[in-house]
Structure 1
Amino acid sequence: MAQSPQGDGTVAKALAVLDMVSEFGRPVRFGELLERANYPKATLYRLVQTLTRQGMLSHDAETQTYALGMRLVRMAHSAWQQSSLAPIARPFIDALSRDLGETVHLAQIDNAQVLYVDKRNATRPVAMFSDAGKVGPAYCTGVGKAMLAFLDEAAREHALDQQSYHAFTPHTLASREALEAELENIRERGFAYDREEHEPGIICVAVPILTRNRRVLGSLSITTTTSRATLDDLATRVPRIVDAARDIARAASDWRFPETAGLTELVAE
């Protein structure tokens, strides 16, 4: 059952309904929403109808289902252009994937979680969780740990408080203490590993994308399988990934992010 949002009134409730519809991953009936929502039926119906009238949801009269509306699609496209590193990073991750022949992920931190904003498949693609637009855990992914390690102390403490520490595999760092020790190691060596921590058989190496003053913009990784490579093999690719991360940071030097009045810093040389 969805948790009722606290403190933000009708807007928060409406956003929670949109989140619920999104989580289904398919058109959903009102009754299915009602089973998950922590709202009275009349309240949920009013929210759904308002969102439909505003184009945030669409309603199929024949199947009696609701789906995310085209207005959200337009807003998502605008957000991708305005707030995501993806448009800037595209030529650099294209070149990185082409040069290394492995899957490349570009990610940013979003509410203490990993948001995959772009992906390039390997020459021989591997089925895995991550796709552009998906949200994943930060504490057990290479891109997530690379970003957590380089957040400022206050932001890192807040993000660590939000992690679930669920053990997805026997390799998952399933406690805050274990994760904090790993983040210290990442800061020392400058890059992070995923040692089959989120998915069995999937390994990666990731580096942060940083401004000159060490502000985290995102992270970049290459991912493969244990049947194709070892962590030592991935470590040999780090200099090339670091170069790509620096190129992305340079290209983003004049980019404007929602939380920033203006971004003029360049990545450290």
Structure 2
Amino acid sequence: MRRTVDDDKPAAANYHAHALARGLALLERLARARQPVTLGELNDETGLPKSTLVRLLAVLAETEYVVRVDERPSFRLGHKVLELSTAYVSTLDASAAARGYLADLAATTGQTANLGVLDGAQVLHLCVEEPDRPIRYTAMSGSRAETYATGLGKLLLAGVPDDELDRHLPPEPWEPKTADTRAELTELRADLELTRARGYAFDDNEFSVGLRCLAVPLEIEGRWIASVSVSGPSAELDPDRHEGYLAELRETAAAMAADPDLAAALRVVHRSLSPTEGGRSR
């Protein structure tokens, strides 16, 4: 039998809520369209009778959530939808939404957990959670670091198209933080290629002597728009122990990407910091 939008209605929707569920389904369909959608197309795609669609669209148009644009008739979203989305975005806080995930990661690994995004030639630490132990790497939410010398930074640079890389690096010569810093572009490019190939970045005493960091991408809509990392004493992040840390990092990054509020907040942050909407598609 032909599938209709009623097949996807919430389980809690009773007879009196069917109209609301159907109206919301129409708004979602219009939101996915790049141009106005005709009544016939809505009939084909939703499986609802045209008479039902006409009644629903009339109510949505009267309340200004939908606009009828021609006599076919065809419809697009109205300005009231923007008011809802603006109100939603204004309540988002990426740091607050990420804190629980990072706190669990820090507790599980015993290392400092960090969520970072690119901001020009720096990494912005959106949220940092430290483990409950005397010896730990200390950083502050809202602090920044150079992209070329950190695990977070190198992971995020690996997700940038080659022709945009210069925008996220300071003018050369770069300041070496330690004797192991990738302080030349040729060296850094080789590291970024390795990072892309294996899917994670490794800061091996490059930002601070005695400190190592592993970072994985937080991927949303095919782009590496943020990174999640753990940082701690070099002896504890020895390469022989990477597999366990990476498993925890990837599990956390996947859970964060699947959180609709956090994903929406990160998209807002990404757009505000990346005017060109850059980001490597994987």
TM-score bracket for this pair, using the shorter chain length: 0.5 to 0.7
Change (3 A) 1:154 1:102: same
More helix by share: 2
Change (3 A) 1:243 1:163: farther
Q: In the alignment, what sits opposite 2:130?
A: 121
Counterpart Cα distance in 1 of 2:243 and 2:174:
26
1:55-134 aligned at under 5 Å gives the runs 85-126=94-135, 128=137, 130-134=139-143
Is the 1:105–1:222 Cα contact (8 Å) retained in structure 2?
Answer: yes
Q: In the alignment, what sits opposite 1:140?
A: 149
Letter in 2 for 1:248: M
1:253-268 aligned at under 5 Å gives the runs 253-255=263-265, 256-257=267-268, 260=271
Moved more, 121-130 or 100-109: 121-130
Moved more, 231-240 or 195-204: 231-240
Counterpart Cα distance in 1 of 2:105 and 2:159:
23
Once superposed, what is the RMSD of the aligned Cα atoms?
Answer: 2.8
Change (3 A) 1:244 1:258: closer
Letter in 2 for 1:249: A
Is the 1:139–1:179 Cα contact (8 Å) retained in structure 2?
Answer: yes
Q: In the alignment, what sits opposite 1:245?
A: 253
The number of equivalent residue pairs is 183
Counterpart Cα distance in 1 of 2:135 and 2:255:
27
Counterpart Cα distance in 1 of 2:130 and 2:164:
31
Moved more, 184-193 or 148-157: 148-157
Q: Secondary structure at the match of 1:239?
A: helix
Counterpart Cα distance in 1 of 2:124 and 2:95:
11
Is the 2:137–2:231 Cα contact (8 Å) retained in structure 1?
Answer: no
**TM-superposition CA deviations, 1:233-269 (whole Å, max 9, x none):** 13421021011112212223333515649xxxxxx99
Note the C-alpha offset of 1:131.
Answer: 1.9
1:150-189 aligned at under 5 Å gives the runs 150-160=159-169, 162=171, 165-189=174-198
Higher radius of gyration, 1 or 2: 2
Counterpart Cα distance in 1 of 2:134 and 2:108:
15
Counterpart Cα distance in 2 of 1:218 and 1:151:
11
Note the C-alpha offset of 1:124.
Answer: 2.0
Q: In the alignment, what sits opposite 1:66?
A: none
Counterpart Cα distance in 2 of 1:195 and 1:171:
7
Change (3 A) 1:211 1:124: same
Counterpart Cα distance in 1 of 2:173 and 2:136:
24
Question: So what's the TM-score if we normalise by structure 2?
Answer: 0.58
Letter in 2 for 1:241: L
Moved more, 144-153 or 121-130: 121-130
Q: Secondary structure at the match of 1:238?
A: helix
Moved more, 150-159 or 189-198: 150-159
**TM-superposition CA deviations, 1:4-26 (whole Å, max 9, x none):** xxxxxxxxxxxxxxxxxxxxxxx
- Any unmatched runs of 5+ in structure 1? 1-80, 262-267
Q: In the alignment, what sits opposite 2:210?
A: 201
Change (3 A) 1:91 1:205: same
Q: In the alignment, what sits opposite 1:220?
A: 228
Is the 1:94–1:120 Cα contact (8 Å) retained in structure 2?
Answer: yes
Letter in 2 for 1:158: R
Note the C-alpha offset of 1:231.
Answer: 2.7
Q: Secondary structure at the match of 1:233?
A: helix
Letter in 1 for 2:96: P
Is the 2:136–2:233 Cα contact (8 Å) retained in structure 1?
Answer: no
- Any unmatched runs of 5+ in structure 2? 1-89, 273-280
Note the C-alpha offset of 1:123.
Answer: 3.1
Q: Secondary structure at the match of 1:118?
A: strand
Q: Secondary structure at the match of 1:237?
A: helix
Q: In the alignment, what sits opposite 2:239?
A: 231
Q: Secondary structure at the match of 2:263?
A: coil
